[in-house]
Amino acid sequence: MSKRVRCLFGTDGVRDVANKGTMTPEMALRLARAFVFFLTEGGRPRPSLVVGRDTRRSGPMLESALVAGLASAGADVSLLNIMPTPGVSFAIRKLGAAGGAIISASHNPAEYNGIKFLDHQGCKLSDEEESAIEETLGDSLLDDWRPTGASIGSIGGDVSVIGAYVDWLADFIDSLDMPLIADCAHGAASDVFPQLVSRLGAEAVFIGDHPDGLNINEDVGVMHMNHLAEEVLRRQAPVGIAFDGDADRVLFCDGRGRIIDGDIMLWILARWMKSRGELGGGVVATVMSNMALEERLGDVGIPVCRCPVGDRYVLEMMREKAMGLGGEQSGHLILAPWVSTGDGLFTGLAFLRACRELGEDLDSLVDRFGRYPQLLRNVAVSDKKDVLQSDRLREAVSAAEERLGEWGRVFVRASGTEPMVRILVEAKDPDLMAELAESVSAVIRRLSPIKE
């Protein structure tokens, strides 16, 4: 049987400029109906669903269309309004819902928006499940399927789950024993994280916590860590924490203004979870994680498995290998004993707790991790597929890897959204790294020159 191929769904749901292309109210309504049809055909008739969104101006517009589609297909809907993506996942489990939907474009600028669906465990749908929903969009049964009377779904709200989410987070860490600077990216964490800090009685200065519908991720959050670093240095704070627009990612900076990324967090959290007997078989990292992660964890007997970029692939391998921790360099981490999707707020608390219980000095982590230098090149091409299938490219990569030996690696992949091929070269020797990155880039440019 051939594997279904997705066309509409990307690596994180359906995403586009809001009110254009694939992210119009009309598409939101039809996607919602297809999702309910998919659940009903899978044995979950009249499903109960929860819906949350981030702070974008287009959010209420798309929410109205999405909820209308869900109810018209017979689903009972609970609206959470503005809620972090992991908060929606929490709500699904808390309320025993059949699934949910999040209206967010995560770290993208305000003009974008997106829709991603979650299953009854609060997990993102698999590629196969999203492909099945795409197929349903073109099914004539979807147009004919029109519940009436009492079979039409209901629409209500349940903001109490926000308080339950904050309580659950606060109970996990009990206390925050250091002042911090918190960057909420003018996104979904802007209300929840201050509530959490207040609940813990902690001292914090907030930035990026005044969303106006148009400023989400604008020069703030995990995509613009220099802003947080400057504030930490200016205020002489011991640590800074930053989220993205929907708060499923988190990054830190130390008291010297240096970024503590997902790889360093995986290094700390893996050792902490192992000490608690909760790590399982090891750690899942993506192909983009620094080789220093494998070295540092190898020193303490913790294996690392690699998977393609994307948190859904991280979770799939975690389940396959029975590993309790996985994540990406970008700060999207999953701690399986507690959460079923990336939760920036929970990960941030867990990291701070792990540092405290392991006796780690935050200001020394970057130095002690000792990352390999990395160089990422983006090469514009006319045909990504032809480039990646080329024998000449494979030969160039093999030659580069031979020169690097065990002290580096070369990774080449197509961009998921742009006509580009991305080359990542990692090496202990920065000069050799730059030379090899240019040689592989040159081969790609010759293979697929941009047509004027």
Which residue in this structure is represented by tokens 């990216």? 185
- Is 82 in contact with 188 (CB distance < 8 Å)? yes
Which residue in this structure is represented by tokens 């939101």? 28
- For residue 234, CA distances in Å to 115, 183, 227, 239 come to 38, 15, 11, 12
Beta strands in 58-216 (DSSP E): 76-82, 99-103, 112-118, 155-157, 180-183, 204-207
Q: Which of 275, 292, 281 is nearest to 365 (CA)?
A: 292
Q: Phi/psi at 11 (nearest 5 deg)? A: -75, -15
- Count of H-run helices and E-run strands, the chain: 16, 18
Out of 106, 289, 330, 340, the active site residue is 106
- In this structure, the dihedral spanned by the alpha carbons of residues 351, 124, 322 and 172, taken in order and rounded to 10 degrees, is 30
Question: 275 catalytic, yes or no?
Answer: no
Which residue in this structure is represented by tokens 């860490």? 173
Q: Dump the DSSP string for 264-282.
A: HHHHHHHHHHHHTT--BT-
Listed in sequence order, the residues at least 6 apart from 287 whose beta carbon sits closer than 8 Å to its beta carbon are 306, 307, 308, 309, 411, 413, 424
Residues annotated as catalytic (active site), given as ranges: 106
